[in-house]
Structure 1
Amino acid sequence: MSIWWSLHLRREAASVPLARRLLLGTMETAGVDPDVSYDLSVALSEACANAVEHGGKSAAQGGCSEAYRVTAYLDGEKCRIEVADSGPGFTAERPVPTPTPAHADAEAGRGLYLIRELADHVHIGNEPGLGGAVVSFDKILKWRKDAPLMAV
């Protein structure tokens, strides 16, 4: 069984809970274990928040891009999520940040660390051919006993 969907969202804070609710609804309908669904929804929220905050084009690139893309794949025993923006991406001057735990009182800086802790595999890089950052992560799924769409 495979399910996939893709959203093109405005770079606005209100788009983050929309993506999260769609993922949670998809996983609940499919019968994914609620703990796994919750972990992936938190990781998705962090990736979307990063795209909203950092995913716009710089002034040197001609202004601000107003959108980012979220794609989710539930394929057999795994869920893979990609969040891509059209911002400046990562360069030698702006390298991929190293995810590290933030101080307890920090208001920002936890996103990539949380994604790495909640997912099984994480890739952070540039969108091939388009520029912009892409954060992709996956997790092995666990299913409820009564899962209607459980992988066979």
Structure 2
Amino acid sequence: MKTDNYLKLTQFYQNYAAVVDQANWSEWLDMFVEECVYKVQARENFDRNLPMAALSLTSKGMLKDRIYGITETIFHDPYHQLHMVSSPLILSESDNGVIESQANYTVFRTKNDGIAEIYNVGRYLDRLRITEKGIQIESRLCIFDNEMILNSLIYPI
């Protein structure tokens, strides 16, 4: 393992959490390569290799459509998210700049009534690429442990 990549990766995970928590959607999009996968899937389906996912986006164009929906068309009770992300575990590193890693996450949701609740808990399984723009996501699987998602999934995990 390359120590400098571990430090960059740790910063990347924390930056991802901050970007999503602050609803900085243009910066969130920049964290992905053009040909990417972003999936939010129940652990049970993942473990059984079943394809059903709460959210499955297979290109940066689909991510852009999702952000358009969030900002322009989806009506929902407003809430804020707060991500807590563990230190990453590097599963593999290749000489061509690809890192496979995972990190655990917890997402808290706070509605305007002030009551905070645990919204989603799980782990990220990532395939990341080191590019001239820094670390970018080729594939992010958000594997959640809870059997159901409260209300609906609006914002990225």
TM-score (norm 1): 0.31
Relative contact order: is structure 1 or structure 2 higher (C-alpha 8 Å, sep ≥ 6)? 1
- More strand per residue: 1 or 2? 2
